[in-house]
Structure 1
Amino acid sequence: MKTCIFCPTALTSETKPEHIWPNALGGRATTRGVICSECNNTFGSTIDAALASQVQDLRTLLNLSSGDKRTPPPLQEIIDKNQKFFVWPDGRIELRQKPFTIVKRDDGGFDVTIKAKDSEHVDNLIPHVAAAIGISEENLRTQLGRANAREIIQPSPQITRNIAFGGHDPLRSLAKSCLILWNRSGQDSAIKESPFDAVKVFVTNGDKTFLSNKIKLDGRPIPGADILANKFGPIFNLIFIKSDRNGKILAYVGNYNTAYWRIVIADSGGMPNRSVGLVSNPLNPNNWSYLPDFGFDLDISWLETPVIDESSRNPGDSIGTALKDHTEKQREQHIHEMLIDTFRECQISEGSVITEEAIARFSRRFAQWLLRIKTDRPLSNEEINSLISLNKG
Structure 2
Amino acid sequence: MNICIFCPTVLTPDTKPEHIWLNALGGRATTRGVICSECNNTFGSTIDTALASQVQDLRTLLNLSSGDRRTPPPLQVTIEENQKFVVWPDGRIELRQKPFIIEKRSDGGFDVTIKAKDLEHVDSLMPHVAAAIGISEENLRNQLGRANAREIIQPGPQVTRNMAFGGHDPLRSLAKSCLVLWNKSGQDNAIKESPFDAVKVFVTRGDQTFLSNKIKLDGRPIPGADILASKFGPIFNLIFVKSDSNGKILAYVGNYNTAYWRIVIAEAGGMPNRAVGLVSNPLNPNNWSYLPNYGFDLDISWLETPTIDESSRNPGDSIGAALKDHTEKQQEQHIHEMLIDTFRECQISEGSVITEEAIERFSQRFALWLLRAKTDRPLSSEEINSLISLNKG
Structure 1-normalised TM-score? 0.97
> Structure 1 residue 109: deviation in Å?
5.1
Partner of residue 117, structure 1: 117
Distance 1:105 1:154 in 2: 26
1:160 is paired with a residue whose SS is coil
1:370 is paired with a residue whose SS is helix
Amino acid at match of 1:29: A
Structure 1 residues 1-393: aligned runs within 5 Å? 1-104=1-104, 110-392=110-392
Amino acid at match of 1:309: D
2:297 is paired with a residue whose SS is coil
Measured against aligned partners, the alpha-carbon deviations of 1:33-77 in whole angstroms (never above 9, x if no partner) come to 111111111111110111111111111111111111111111121
In 1, are the aligned partners of 2:85 and 2:93 still within 8 Å (CA)?
Answer: yes
Distance 1:29 1:201 in 2: 24
Distance 1:43 1:232 in 2: 27
1:191 is paired with a residue whose SS is helix
Distance 1:324 1:81 in 2: 29
In 2, are the aligned partners of 1:237 and 1:257 still within 8 Å (CA)?
Answer: yes
Amino acid at match of 1:78: T
> Structure 1 residue 254: deviation in Å?
0.5
Q: After the TM superposition, which of the residue ranges 70-79 and 361-370 deviates more from structure 2?
A: 70-79
Q: After the TM superposition, which of the residue ranges 93-102 and 212-221 deviates more from structure 2?
A: 93-102
> Structure 1 residue 82: deviation in Å?
4.1
Measured against aligned partners, the alpha-carbon deviations of 1:117-142 in whole angstroms (never above 9, x if no partner) come to 22111111111222333322111111
1:298 is paired with a residue whose SS is coil
Structure 2-normalised TM-score? 0.97
Gaps of 5+ in 1: none
Amino acid at match of 2:205: N
> Structure 1 residue 108: deviation in Å?
6.0
> Structure 1 residue 105: deviation in Å?
5.5
Distance 1:153 1:36 in 2: 55
1:70 is paired with a residue whose SS is coil
Measured against aligned partners, the alpha-carbon deviations of 1:139-163 in whole angstroms (never above 9, x if no partner) come to 1111111222211123322221111
Distance 1:64 1:334 in 2: 19
In 2, are the aligned partners of 1:4 and 1:34 still within 8 Å (CA)?
Answer: yes
2:312 is paired with a residue whose SS is coil
Distance 1:149 1:71 in 2: 39
In 2, are the aligned partners of 1:187 and 1:271 still within 8 Å (CA)?
Answer: no
Distance 1:97 1:55 in 2: 27
Percent of pairs identical after alignment? 89
> Structure 1 residue 355: deviation in Å?
1.8
For these two proteins, the number of residue pairs brought into alignment is: 393
1:85 is paired with a residue whose SS is strand
> Structure 1 residue 7: deviation in Å?
1.2
Distance 1:102 1:151 in 2: 16
Distance 2:278 2:131 in 1: 56
Distance 1:37 1:344 in 2: 55
1:391 is paired with a residue whose SS is helix
Amino acid at match of 1:337: E
1:127 is paired with a residue whose SS is helix
Amino acid at match of 1:302: W
Distance 1:18 1:109 in 2: 63
Amino acid at match of 1:226: D
Measured against aligned partners, the alpha-carbon deviations of 1:334-388 in whole angstroms (never above 9, x if no partner) come to 1001001111222222112222221111110001111222211111122111111
Distance 2:166 2:241 in 1: 19
In 1, are the aligned partners of 2:11 and 2:35 still within 8 Å (CA)?
Answer: yes
Distance 1:244 1:187 in 2: 17
> Structure 1 residue 187: deviation in Å?
4.5
Q: After the TM superposition, which of the residue ranges 126-135 and 137-146 deviates more from structure 2?
A: 126-135
Say what the alpha-carbon RMSD is for the aligned residues: 1.4
> Structure 1 residue 252: deviation in Å?
0.2
Measured against aligned partners, the alpha-carbon deviations of 1:260-317 in whole angstroms (never above 9, x if no partner) come to 0000000110000001000000110000000000000000000011011111111111
Distance 1:65 1:385 in 2: 42
In 2, are the aligned partners of 1:227 and 1:294 still within 8 Å (CA)?
Answer: yes
In 1, are the aligned partners of 2:247 and 2:267 still within 8 Å (CA)?
Answer: yes
Distance 1:33 1:366 in 2: 56
In 1, are the aligned partners of 2:86 and 2:96 still within 8 Å (CA)?
Answer: yes
Amino acid at match of 1:307: T
Distance 1:187 1:310 in 2: 38
Q: After the TM superposition, which of the residue ranges 209-218 and 136-145 deviates more from structure 2?
A: 136-145
Amino acid at match of 2:237: N
